[in-house]
Amino acid sequence: MQEHLARVLLRHRDERPVAAVLAGELRRAARRTRGEAAERADRGPERGITLRGAPFVSAQLDQGDTLELGRTTLRARTAKATAKRTETDGFSIPPGMQAVLLLLLGFGWYYMLSKHGTASEEPLWSSEPPALFDQTVVTCPQTAAENALVLATQQESAAEFERERSPFFPREGIAAVSHYERAASCFRVAGQAELAAVSSSSARRLRESLEAEYHIRRVRLERALEEGKYELVPREVRVLTDFVSGQSAPYTQWLSAVARESELRLNASTEEE
């Protein structure tokens, strides 16, 4: 301060009185002092970084901790992981390995569906083919001769109609056998032995014809599968399915599976050609 005043006096020694110069400099110095004090008051007391009110240098921050630097506040928070893992039984499967596994599964499934057999392969039958007719004896529900004769005539007519349709629909022939047998029983109750013998003979002949056709169709199907002639399979499956319609035997389910498998193998062989 003394050096500053001396410089001021030297600069103004020829211009103004010393007292006037000193008074002006003192007033300016007082204003500067008051301005600096006011600026420090506005800023507030200078403080360093604090953690929970104590000076902070270095420490491990916990969730929710707050760092303060003057009027600035920083709050600690745990960031959420953005990476996702595929976990199976406690271990993670890398994305590349997942793609490889999916590719292998796809090839395996395609191989199972598209692989067609050779002529030496023999399909496994799930069960024996069911019988077309049971051993139940058909009887006439009527006891009076007149009523029995009427019912016998009706059953004979139904059997004739169904027998004519049996070459196209085997199930119609199976129903016709039952109607012939009931007609024969009712004719016997009505005292018409000759008519009963005719109906009984018709039932026997139709039964034998259907069983022979049933056997031939099964042999044809087995041979077509053994020789890989899958284009012949659908026709035999349709006929055999009609033979066993109404039965819930595993054989009917096997027929459906054979039809699907044969179609897949036929398509596969066509693509290879």
Query: What percentage of the chain carries pLDDT values higher than 90?
Result: 38
Which pLDDT value is given to residue 20? 55
pLDDT reading at 153 higher than 70: yes
Residue 262, class by beta-carbon neighbours within 10 Å (0-12 exposed, 13-18 middle, 19+ buried)? Answer: buried
* Pure H helices in 12-144: 18-43, 95-114
Residue recorded with tokens 């109607």: 179
Whether 207 maps to a domain, the answer reads yes
Cα dihedral 41, 44, 48, 49, rounded to 10, equals -160
Q: How many domains does the chain have?
A: 2
The residue-averaged pLDDT of 259-273 equals: 81
In a domain, 103, yes or no: no
How many Cβ atoms from other residues are within 10 Å of residue 145's Cβ?
Answer: 13
How far is Cα 231 from Cα 233, in angstroms, rounded to an integer?
6
CB of 230 closer than 8 Å to CB of 221: no
Residue 17 domain flag? yes
Query: Both tokens of residue 178?
Result: 């039952």
Is 89 within a domain?
no
Of 1-15, 193-207, 208-222, 224-238, the poorest mean pLDDT is in 1-15
Q: Is 128 within the bounds of a domain?
A: no
CA gap 13, 28 in Å, rounded:
19
What's the token pair of residue 181?
């047998």
Q: Taking every pair of C-alpha atoms in the chain, what is the biggest distance, in angstroms?
A: 171
φ/ψ of 87, rounded to 5, equals: -110, 135
Residue 203 placed within a domain:
yes
Domain region containing 216:
145-272
Tokens of 164: 């004519």
Task: Reduce the DSSP state of residue 85 to 3 states and report it.
Answer: coil
For residue 149, the one-letter residue type is L
Is 0.85 topped by the overall pTM? Answer: no
Q: How much of the chain is in helix, strand and coil states, percent to nearest 5? A: 60, 5, 35
166 domain-assigned = yes
Tens digit of each residue's pLDDT (9 = 90 or more) over 52-90: 667 655 666 566 666 565 666 666 665 554 444 444 445
Residue 118 lies in a domain: no
